[in-house]
Structure 1
Amino acid sequence: MAVSQELLEILVCPVCKESVALTEDKSGLKCPACHRVYPIRDDIPVMLVDEARVEE
């Protein structure tokens, strides 16, 4: 089971409050503003700043 579309519509980056989107490989949620990628583990988004990695 993947992250539901309803959940994706309400999730925002905890740092800059921008909407996040699934990465191409569907392993994380990326913020387009600050470029943080939050991991998805066992179909649960981990929206903790300490768990995120920064990508360009």
Structure 2
Amino acid sequence: MVFDKKLLEIIACPNCKGKLDYQLELSELWCRGERLGFPVKDGIPVLLEPKARTLELEEVE
């Protein structure tokens, strides 16, 4: 299943309410402000901080 990019217009980071960027090759939504990568499973964003990974500094630059 493919992630619907139209969702990016209405969803936000659950922590800071900032913009999320979709990373197709990793199937993740990135919040650069919080340095979190939220997984997208079967086309559904999992916007739970315990399920997110911390992004490396090189990834957010």
Q: Which TM-score bucket, shorter chain as reference?
A: 0.7 to 0.9
CA distance in structure 1 between the partners assigned to 2:41 and 2:10 by the alignment = 18
Output the aligned Cα RMSD: 1.3
TM-score, structure 1 as length reference: 0.86
| Percent identity over paired residues | 38
Q: CA deviation at 1:6?
A: 1.8
Match of 1:12 in 2: 12
Q: CA deviation at 1:24?
A: 4.7
2:28, 2:37 within 8 Å by CA — same for their partners in 1? yes
1:39, 1:51 within 8 Å by CA — same for their partners in 2? yes
* Count of residue pairs the alignment pairs up: 56
5+ long unaligned stretches in structure 1: none
Aligned partner letter, 2:23: T
CA distance in structure 2 between the partners assigned to 1:22 and 1:36 by the alignment = 12
Q: CA deviation at 1:26?
A: 4.5
Match of 2:29 in 1: 29
Larger radius of gyration: 2
Runs of 4+ in structure 1 displaced over 2 angstroms?
A: none
TM-score, structure 2 as length reference: 0.80
